[in-house]
Amino acid sequence: MRDLGGGGGEESAFVPVAQSEERVLRASPEMARSGYRTFRGADGFEAAIPEDVVARVKALGRSAAPREWHGLVIGQLYEDLGRTHVVVRGVVPDESALASSGYVETTPEGEWKTRTLAHILYPDCLILGWIHGHVRVGARFSATDRRTQTTWKQPHALGIVVDPWDLAELGVYRGPEAELLTSSWTEVETRIAASGDGQDQAEEGDPGAQAPKKPRFSKLRTFLGAALGATALTVALMALAIGVSTRSALERALLERGKPATEKRSEAEIPSPPDLGTPGAPVAATALPFDAGLCALGDSASASEP
């Protein structure tokens, strides 16, 4: 087996010790999977990957950033009516892989530990292939990745590359020829991205983030907002005009009440002086109407009269 990221094509210290016959199950694609992304080859070969596994490997990529990561793909091999298809059941990361922002390389010890753990966690599954992550460079094989894929000799062997910041998210390759499998999901998302109407596929600030979808009925909302704004402005202007008018009337009334004391009045308007009564009798202060401007003193009897 060759080093995953060596780039020189040199043989590593890892040497297979034996090869066992792979277990092939029998089930139709419809029976074997549900809620999976399907990737197809030119000859009808299909690889199904569940959405929860896709979410898990994207999370692995984000947590490993800014470094790449490596793991093994675990799943089951099926045959139906002469067709071969595989169903991915999980991924086991290689914790001992040597990685940086531009490459990842496994070691013989790390590969042995990862394969042993895979058989323990998935005793009913096969090791279908390998998986590794890219960081903001796209979910497609590099030249080194293609050379690594040639070491997987089975025609159904999978090589998967994950880039959480790429709209495609996954690149799924098959066999030693590294055939890129196509997905209807990827094709639809690519068209959406090209139209500039894609959903945000990454965290805020990520280079791979797409513009969010515009809400439906945006024109109607804009019209209603403008109408409501105009109505509110009209009501405010009317309230202001009413306030100014009321203030003016109040000021006029106060000016009328505050006439100068030297203003000439008719004799009928001036009240007669009150009868002060007998000297020494109790008196009471009676306030006359405001317009009179006078305060008269008289006895309590006269003060109670109107």
pLDDT by residue (tens digit) across 159-172?
Answer: 999 999 999 899 99
The reply to whether 71 and 170 lie within a common domain is yes
- The predicted structure's pLDDT at residue 257: 62
Rounded Cα distance between 2 and 237, Å, is: 80
Asked whether 101 and 68 are in contact (CB, 8 A), the reply is yes
Rounded Cα distance between 302 and 274, Å, is: 9
Residue 54 lies in a domain: yes
Asked if the model's pLDDT at residue 298 lies above 80, the reply is: no
Strand partners, 107: none
Provide the domain count of the chain. 2
The reply to whether 180 and 53 lie within a common domain is yes
The reply to whether 48 and 170 lie within a common domain is yes
Rounded Cα distance between 254 and 297, Å, is: 28
Asked if the model's pLDDT at residue 126 lies above 60, the reply is: yes
Residue 252 lies in a domain: no
Mean pLDDT of 132-147: 95
The reply to whether 189 and 289 lie within a common domain is no
Q: Which residue has the tokens 């109670």?
A: 304
Mean pLDDT of the chain: 75
Rounded Cα distance between 151 and 178, Å, is: 10
pTM for this predicted structure: 0.57
As a 3-state breakdown, the chain gives helix, strand, coil percent values, each rounded to 5, of: 30, 25, 45
Could you give the angle at the alpha carbon of 26 between the alpha carbons of 21 and 32, nearest 5°? 115
Mean pLDDT of 249-271: 57
Closest alpha carbon to 88 in 121, 50, 117, 61: 50
Last residue in a domain, options 161, 179, 194: 194
Give Cα 31 distance to the centre of its chain: 34
Residue 255 lies in a domain: no
For residue 74, give Cα distances in angstroms to 57, 87, 273. Answer: 13, 9, 117
Backbone angles phi, psi at 173, to 5 degrees: -120, 155
Asked if the model's pLDDT at residue 89 lies above 60, the reply is: yes
Strand partners, 55: none
Residue 233 lies in a domain: no
Asked whether 105 and 5 are in contact (CB, 8 A), the reply is yes
The reply to whether 172 and 47 lie within a common domain is yes
- The predicted structure's pLDDT at residue 134: 96
The reply to whether 81 and 179 lie within a common domain is yes
The reply to whether 183 and 298 lie within a common domain is no
Last residue in a domain, options 142, 167, 194: 194
Range of the structural domain that residue 61 is part of: 24-194
Q: Where residue 184 sits, what CATH number does that domain have?
A: 3.40.140.10
